[in-house]
Amino acid sequence: GVMQHKIDIISSQVTIPQLNGIYEAGYDQLTYGLSTKQFIGYQYLVSRNKYHFRAGIEFNQGFTQGRRTWDFNANKSGLDKRFDTTIAFKAGIIVPIYTKSASDEEFFID
């Protein structure tokens, strides 16, 4: 996949001189690049239940690079390569929708 992120700067003041015009891009640390995702979890499926569930941990890794030519926070080039990671806990309920009963299904064996 693709991972992109940046820092969004919000101020209660009307104008901040450092963040006017093109200078705002120097502080947002925009990066993007390729990413991978893994999920480790448990899924509970039983034919006699109406509801099923799953839960687990998701890991994301992003091989990103800065897209701004200058990073004003660090006072250096903003084109550095980065390795960004995230971890998320996920849980969900699965509601199956059956269109046929089990006795109506036909199986063909060669």
**Burial class (CB within 10 angstroms; exposed 0-12, middle 13-18, buried 19+) of 62:** buried
**CB of 55 closer than 8 Å to CB of 91:** yes
89 sits in which H/E element:
strand 81-94
> pLDDT value at position 84?
94
**CB of 26 closer than 8 Å to CB of 66:** no
Residue carrying the six token digits 């971890």: 87
Amino acid of residue 91:
A
pLDDT in tens, 47-105: 777 889 999 999 999 999 999 988 888 888 989 999 999 999 999 999 888 776 666 66
> pLDDT value at position 102?
64
